[in-house]
Amino acid sequence: MTTQALIDTHRATLEKALTAIETREYWSPYPESPRAYGEDAAAQGEAAFKARLGNPFQLDQPSTGMMDVAEYSPYGIDLGVSYPTPDIDQLIDAAQTAMNTWSRASADTRAAVCLEILDRLSKQSFEMAHAVMHTTGQAFMMAFQAGSPHALDRALEAVAYGYREMTRVPTSMRWEKPQGKRDPLVIDKEWHVRPQGVEVTIGVSTFPTWNGYPGIMASLVTGNASIIKPHPGTILPLAIFVETARAVLGEAEFDPNLVMLAVDTPDAPIAKDLVLNENVKLVDFTGGSAFGGWLENNVPQARVFTEKSGVNSVIIDSVPDLKGIMRNLTVSTSLYSGQMCTTPQNIFIPRDGITVGDDHVTFDEVVDAYTGGLAGLLGDDERASDILGSIKGDDTLGRIDDAASGGNVLLESRTVTNPTFEGATVRTPVVVGVDAVDEDAYMREMFGPVVFVVATDSTEHSLQLAERSALEHGALTWLVYSTDPDVIDSAVDSAINAGVSVAFNLEGGLYVNQSAAFSDFHATGANPAGNASLTDPAFVANRFRLVGVRKPVLS
Amino acid sequence: MTTQALIDTHRATLEKALTAIETREYWSPYPESPRAYGEDAAAQGEAAFKARLGNPFQLDQPSTGMMDVAEYSPYGIDLGVSYPTPDIDQLIDAAQTAMNTWSRASADTRAAVCLEILDRLSKQSFEMAHAVMHTTGQAFMMAFQAGSPHALDRALEAVAYGYREMTRVPTSMRWEKPQGKRDPLVIDKEWHVRPQGVEVTIGVSTFPTWNGYPGIMASLVTGNASIIKPHPGTILPLAIFVETARAVLGEAEFDPNLVMLAVDTPDAPIAKDLVLNENVKLVDFTGGSAFGGWLENNVPQARVFTEKSGVNSVIIDSVPDLKGIMRNLTVSTSLYSGQMCTTPQNIFIPRDGITVGDDHVTFDEVVDAYTGGLAGLLGDDERASDILGSIKGDDTLGRIDDAASGGNVLLESRTVTNPTFEGATVRTPVVVGVDAVDEDAYMREMFGPVVFVVATDSTEHSLQLAERSALEHGALTWLVYSTDPDVIDSAVDSAINAGVSVAFNLEGGLYVNQSAAFSDFHATGANPAGNASLTDPAFVANRFRLVGVRKPVLS
């Protein structure tokens, strides 16, 4: 396809995305139902995934051979994929060279090429679903939706933001300043987009595409090149992305080295060497707070965008009935075994109980409704496996025992047998009761299937604790249950102070863990859970700069 | 005035500003002609300025008494103003308290209050002109225009950018996601602006209002509080700003401590203590590269916006005639004795000469046209004083001798007697000839009345040197003279690489030093001359964050 044909093909989608980020209304061009992809898609995608296993993942990019990695599946299957061995200097040189033509292309051209990449990836949704499932431990349906269509939504959103920022200033115009009786000053002006430089994305083990695409696409559309260093345990999804992106770039007659993969192993990490290279000007990171914090403070030559971890809170004040909220809360605390950065961890309940409808209900009754609901939801192994997925990482397994030792175990973690993958590591959440004063136990991130029920003096006290916890340890989400308008106002005020998105009284099929591209911002960037938000203008505005040109009008 | 009345009063101006930053067309609501301010304005303004001299500058803000400072006038008059002694902890506490109500006000309210502040300042334009003139050394007309109307343009531009960013997301909307045959998911959403926290502006000695207002106003309009630490030698202009801003804030029933002054002296600087306070989240700096670079690398808890220094270049390739360009170039290299960060410093000319019209002209002839033009322009003391202003700082005086020792003096610096202020320090620029290989001499910033004429191998060589100089030492402006379209294209390409705004073939009354608010971006943020641009979306987008609220639809 010619560049103009690509622009024409994708113009309508881009325009809809531009509208959606203004109105924040629901919209997605990538179907979230697997059925929408055609009869053969499932089998073809699975076959494509299986064909990757045990084989070298060849990418025609600068490298010094192939290397074995520490990638592994929480479902216990053998992956055995090897990847190109990176040479950092080579990669960065190649990325800089690749930017020469890309950075001078028009915003329309770059956006169209990015949208073509996303379209191709959409066609690979089943393959990507298996890749995400078997590297992250997500259950298949989540891996399908979050790994492909929802990730592509977030990618397209980032392209739209980048495009909108670049095109807000006219590419050229004539400027006239009146000079009273004298002739006006007249000059022609142009503005050119100048990318910042090489971007490095440091991927996360749990949602490599959903969290990775926005930084990559925001960088690409604004003219930069992207070097992608996946989590050493979760490589394949981003490798597939790199392969597809390179193919599309090459077909569009740009240098494929605009997108390159740089794998490493836990024994020989390369992230610091990569980001400290003086030609790296943008870094996008999703992962733990320790390395995220290091990046924020130690990479002065680059703009650093982080999504780290946090301690998310539920505040239960008053509800119309317990069943409705527990249907929602048990799911949101179970999905993917709490391995979402948006999963609630601490449930704050006044120790004197709460109002339910017209009745007073004790603290223990609320807890029983929750633990009973959770046990019921996850009682069947097959259903539990579909909700919980598998656990990625021994650290997460270890935290189940660690959490249990810090308080009163209200519901034991149960080992679940996955009916399809016998090697899968599946555990139901442990629910631990603590008193508000035991801050050491609960006021820390316990990533994984760990829920603390915290007994507080009052809802006001709950909000104070949640606010302080967010400001000190970060938080991405709050979920507040209250029938009292004053409490709701007060919770909104607390949430603004804490820089945390807050949802109220969720009972139906919308979970606090979920954020919708084009409408919800993921993270606020206003507390230690991260310094950036997916996606807002601040996420894209500094990935390029504008260079002004003034030329006298030719007479 | 009520808040609504303020909003109504300023709505039309805000809307025009919002249009201007889109179209980039010429526009200004603050007249740049002193005659536009009424018959009595000049005398009243001068009287107001004189009434300040020798007196304490009282501000009803937290302080521990009044202090003497090291402020002084390059025109040699006694200033003798004392200012409130700052206590950093007190100031930051007061700023945080003041944000409680301000941060919850609407974007419309905050913008209207900001515009009222600018309106009041506009009425003080003559007073401000004298304050700027006598602290910075600018000649009166520049002090009037750059100190008040042009600075207010830049302030309003920043307000408009901040307002536009805050209002791009609806404050509330209803979100509906189709669910096939089932009922759609429906939820009400709101977004709230959350300011980042306390901002600190570190002022510059030369253009305290023009460079200071954008960061202050961008911070205020997005809900933050501003603590302003002026340059120790140039305090009065920003003190007047603080006084006026506090008065307007108080009248609008906000806490005046949203804007506070924090003065210091060269012997006891407080900038580091201020910016390292954990509650300071935004820092705006204009000044030298050493401290600017320190701020960029050592204040991890804050977003830091810098405008530092640079080495600006002129590239002479070919011209229709020499007189036209020299009329322009001699003025741009003389204005305010080269103490503008946009003043050209290095003039690159091929050693084999250039094409002028249909003729070949030697290097020496081009140099003679420049030095002859400069000597003519500045031959009369009164006219020279009006163009040169006075020199602020012994360092700048010292550089005249320093520069002369590094090459072949083509035009000596001349001491000028100011006809009105006998104590004024006025020097014409020294013009020094160097060869391109003598990089130590010219490839460094020599802030002040110093011009190097650099003999190069060719225009291509000139562009290479200018590009490398910009990338290594920073640059804000290039001025290129060429009649060759290929050279112009090549220069634009170099300018994009270097991240420098470039103007071509200026001959008339528009000088490369000048940038127009609402149209030209001041600095690109893409080279060591600074990491920010006045004003683009990146300058405002990260001064606040958005907090999302989701509430089920009440049935």
Contact list in A for residue B545 (CB cut-off 8 A) is 499, 524-526, 533, 536
- pLDDT average, residue stretch A3-12: 96
In degrees and rounded to multiples of 5, residue A354 shows phi and psi of -135, 170
**Closest by Cβ to B500, choosing from A187, A521, A547:** A547
The sign one gets for the Cα dihedral B126, B127, B130, B133 is: negative
B186-202 burial, b if ≥16 CB within 10 A, otherwise e?
ebebbbbbbbbbbbbbb
Please state, as a whole number, how many other Cβ atoms lie within 10 Å of the Cβ of residue A16: 16
Q: Which residue of B has its CA nearest to A169?
A: B22
Q: What is the pLDDT of residues B176-203, one digit of tens each?
A: 999 989 999 999 999 999 999 999 999 9
Strand residue runs (E) in A42-126? 66-67, 83-84
SS3 breakdown of chain A: % helix, strand, coil, rounded to 5? 45, 20, 35
Please give the Cα distance from B365 to B377 (Å, whole number).
Answer: 18
**Selection from A542, A442, A462 nearest residue A215 by Cα:** A542
Give yes or no for a contact between A172 and A548, defined as CB atoms under 8 angstroms apart: no
Task: Determine the pLDDT at residue B293.
Answer: 95
Residue whose token pair is 């990479």: A299
Q: What is the pLDDT of residues A125-136, one digit of tens each?
A: 999 999 999 999
Please give the Cα distance from A462 to A485 (Å, whole number).
Answer: 16
Query: What is the torsion angle, in degrees rounded to the nearest 10, for the CA atoms of residue B292, residue B293, residue B297 and residue B302?
Result: 20
Which residues are paired to B451 by β-bridges? Answer: B431
Task: Determine the pLDDT at residue A309.
Answer: 86
How confident is residue B406, by pLDDT bands cut at 50, 70 and 90? confident
- Interacting residues of A114 by C-beta distance below 8 A, sequence separation 6+: A155, A159, A217, A220, A221
- CB-based contact (8 Å) between A327 and chain B? no
- CB-based contact (8 Å) between A360 and chain B? no
Q: What is the pLDDT of residues A332-368, one digit of tens each?
A: 999 999 999 999 999 999 999 999 999 999 999 999 9
Q: Which residue of B has its CA nearest to A499?
A: B547
Exposed / middle / buried, residue B351 (Cβ in 10 Å: 0-12, 13-18, 19+) = middle
Please give the Cα distance from A351 to B406 (Å, whole number).
Answer: 79
**pLDDT > 70? residue A555:** no
**pLDDT > 70? residue B555:** no
- CB-based contact (8 Å) between B555 and chain A? no
Helix segments in B24-55, DSSP class H: 41-52
ipTM above 0.85, yes or no: yes
Average pLDDT value for chain A: 97
> CB distance A502–B169 less than 8 Å?
no
Task: Determine the pLDDT at residue A100.
Answer: 96
Please give the Cα distance from B140 to B126 (Å, whole number).
Answer: 10
**pLDDT > 80? residue A302:** yes
The CA distances from residue B266 to A452, B136, B230, in Å, are 54, 16, 11
Residue pairs spanning A and B at CB distance below 8 A: 189
A294 Rama sector, left if φ>0, alpha if ψ -120 to 50, beta otherwise: alpha
Query: What is the torsion angle, in degrees rounded to the nearest 10, for the CA atoms of residue B442, residue B448, residue B453 and residue B457?
Result: 40
- pLDDT average, residue stretch A135-154: 98
**Percent of chain B scored above 70 by pLDDT?**
100
- Interacting residues of A369 by C-beta distance below 8 A, sequence separation 6+: A322, A323, A326
How confident is residue A393, by pLDDT bands cut at 50, 70 and 90? confident
- Interacting residues of B21 by C-beta distance below 8 A, sequence separation 6+: B157, B160, B161, B164, B518, B535
Task: Determine the pLDDT at residue A284.
Answer: 98
Q: What is the pLDDT of residues B27-77, one digit of tens each?
A: 999 999 999 999 999 999 999 999 999 999 999 999 999 999 999 999 999
Give yes or no for a contact between B155 and B118, defined as CB atoms under 8 angstroms apart: yes
Q: Which residue of B has its CA nearest to A500?
A: B547
Contact list in A for residue B526 (CB cut-off 8 A) is 194, 196, 545, 547
As given in the structure block, the two tokens for residue A202 are 């440091």
As given in the structure block, the two tokens for residue B104 are 């919850």
